[in-house]
Amino acid sequence: MTAAVKDLSQDRQKQMISAHYARLARAKEDGRKVVYTFVPGNLTELLNNLGLLPVLPEINALQSGMRGKTGDYIHIAEKAGHSEDVCTYVKADIGMLKSGNIGPTGEPLPKPDLLLLSYTGCFTFLKWFELLKREYDCPVVMLHVPYQGDGRITEPMRRYVAGQLRDVVIPALETLAGRRVDYDLLRQQLALSARAEDDLVWVLQSARHRPSPIDAYFGGVYYIGPIFTAFRGTTDAVEYYQLLRDEIRQRLKGGLGPVTPEGTLQEEKYRIVVEGPPNWTSFREFWRMFYGEGAVVVASSYTKVGGLYDRGFRHDPSRPLETLADYCMGCYTNLNLPDRIALLEKYINDYAADGFLINSVKSCNSFSAGQLLILRELEKRTGRSGGFIESDLVDPRYFSAANIKNRLESYFQMVEAKRART
């Protein structure tokens, strides 16, 4: 494998993450407070500023999914009365909780001292923490983030969110931390965030080259890791993205395709844009169905759920609360449907994709409701072939490998046939 350089950034990421889990495991002894919160619209800078440690239940759920545990967890949650129909992230989390709350490193996760419900782009988050509140009996702080119903962030929306940050969220976090927010530090953190964001965008946009040096979906979910989790606004993140950027620059120079679990992809046969989250329980198998056919994902919307930076938004140190508000309201699932369609259309054109594919996950209404309209509209507007597959995030019952393979094969053959004609 040509990925000796690649390993550096990956190792770095692994170290960062395991250090984080180690901190969590020691949190209680070290007297540090733990805040559970969600990925989209996370307020990592604020938490770090106050020395609070974040736990992201979604990340736990997806990690459990990758480690093949969610089947059991979901079962446990369903036994406890949860419906088969609802979001499996929630059920995986509840199942994990009821099985001792063992984190991905094998150590138990600390209980929350506070649940920070910043609910961006999905109503299920609200229910999720209502449920956790009943398990942990700790305070919940709600940050209501309005939706971009009309496709833009208005001043009243911004004032509303910034006001809640000022009047509700920050006081609660300060009380918990026992100290005040250090605004100078916050400004520095936000500047670091912006730097990492620049590099992330550069990396994701490298897929415009042919062949693309990255896979913006299967590889992309690793690249966004550090920003999504606990590291935005830290020097760790800045360094990671610099490393990553250097590596990708090398690949570009060498004209190399993306790294796959079986080495560098030799021939880029299809360039695809993907909408929707991946499946975690059969992540490798799913990935293989792409690279096995020579398909490379050149852009994806899922890598924007924790923040959408390629339209120019960067954290702005000069107006901390407003910029955090804008960040929360700007995450991908907070865009209205016409805007999502426009964004995907732009990806298909900018990244010269042969087609686009929607992986519709059963769990997530936030993503899924309306995806079939997205499919129609994109086909109409771009003239490129659209594919549609259905699976789930972490419920192994909803990943039917044979079926998805059948559809993907048909889809790629369809793209091929269409290309041969034009």
Q: Which of residues 60-89 bind ligand SF4 (CB under 6 A)?
A: 87, 89
Residue 321 CB, nearest approach to ligand SF4 (Å):
25
Do 169 and 143 meet the contact criterion of CB atoms below 8 Å apart? Answer: yes
Cα angle 287, 292, 296; round to 5: 65
Rg (CA), the chain: 21
Determine if 122 is a binding residue for ligand SF4 (CB under 6 A): yes
160 binds, among another protein, ligand SF4, none (CB under 5 to 8 A by kind): another protein
Q: Which is nearer to another protein, 86 or 185 (CB)?
A: 86
242 binds, among another protein, ligand SF4, none (CB under 5 to 8 A by kind): none
Q: Quick check: helix, strand or coil at residue 355?
A: strand
407 binds, among ligand SF4, another protein, none (CB under 5 to 8 A by kind): another protein
Residue spans of alpha helices (H) in 178-301: 183-205, 220-223, 225-226, 235-254, 283-291
Widest Cα–Cα separation across the chain? 67
Q: In sequence order, which residues have a C-beta less than 8 Å from that of residue 152 and are 6 or more positions away?
A: none
Determine if 363 is a binding residue for ligand SF4 (CB under 6 A): yes
Q: Which of residues 211-250 bind ligand SF4 (CB under 6 A)?
A: none
Cα–Cα separations (whole angstroms), residue 271 to 36, 42, 201, 313: 38, 31, 19, 26
Rounded Cα distance between 7 and 17, Å, is 15
Q: What is the DSSP letter of 37?
A: E
Rounded Cα distance between 317 and 122, Å, is 27
Determine if 382 is a binding residue for another protein (CB under 8 A): no
Cα–Cα separations (whole angstroms), residue 350 to 132, 202, 207, 342: 42, 14, 10, 12
For residues 340, 342, 347 and 353, what is the CA-based torsion angle, rounded to 10 degrees? 110
193 binds, among ligand SF4, another protein, none (CB under 5 to 8 A by kind): none
Q: Which of residues 95-124 bind another protein (CB under 8 A)?
A: 119, 122-124
Structure tokens of 218?
């299967």
Determine if 124 is a binding residue for ligand SF4 (CB under 6 A): yes
Residue 64 CB, nearest approach to another protein (Å):
19
Determine if 125 is a binding residue for ligand SF4 (CB under 6 A): yes
Cα–Cα separations (whole angstroms), residue 149 to 325, 339, 396: 16, 10, 34
Residues 122-141 vs another protein: string with x where CB under 8 A? xxx-xxx-xx-xx-------
Q: Which is nearer to ligand SF4, 125 or 228 (CB)?
A: 125
89 binds, among ligand SF4, another protein, none (CB under 5 to 8 A by kind): ligand SF4
125 binds, among ligand SF4, another protein, none (CB under 5 to 8 A by kind): ligand SF4
Rounded Cα distance between 32 and 23, Å, is 9
Q: Which is nearer to ligand SF4, 121 or 220 (CB)?
A: 121
Rounded Cα distance between 271 and 264, Å, is 16
Q: Which residue is nearest to ligand SF4 (CB)?
A: 364
Determine if 364 is a binding residue for ligand SF4 (CB under 6 A): yes
Residue 190 CB, nearest approach to ligand SF4 (Å):
25
The stretch among 13-21, 162-170, 171-179, 361-369 that binds ligand SF4 (CB under 6 A) is: 361-369
| Identity at 7, one-letter amino acid code | D
Rounded Cα distance between 35 and 180, Å, is 16
Residue 61 CB, nearest approach to another protein (Å):
15
Structure tokens of 232?
């935005």
Residues 390-419 vs ligand SF4: string with x where CB under 6 A? ---x--------------------------
Please report, as ranges, the residues that interact with another protein according to CB under 8 A.
78-83, 85-87, 90, 119, 122-124, 126-128, 130-131, 133-134, 142, 144, 146-147, 149-150, 156-157, 159-160, 163-164, 167-168, 336-341, 360, 362, 365-366, 368-373, 375-377, 379, 385-386, 388, 390, 400, 403, 406-407, 409-410, 413-414, 417-418, 421
Please report, as ranges, the residues that interact with ligand SF4 according to CB under 6 A.
58, 87, 89, 122, 124-125, 363-367, 393
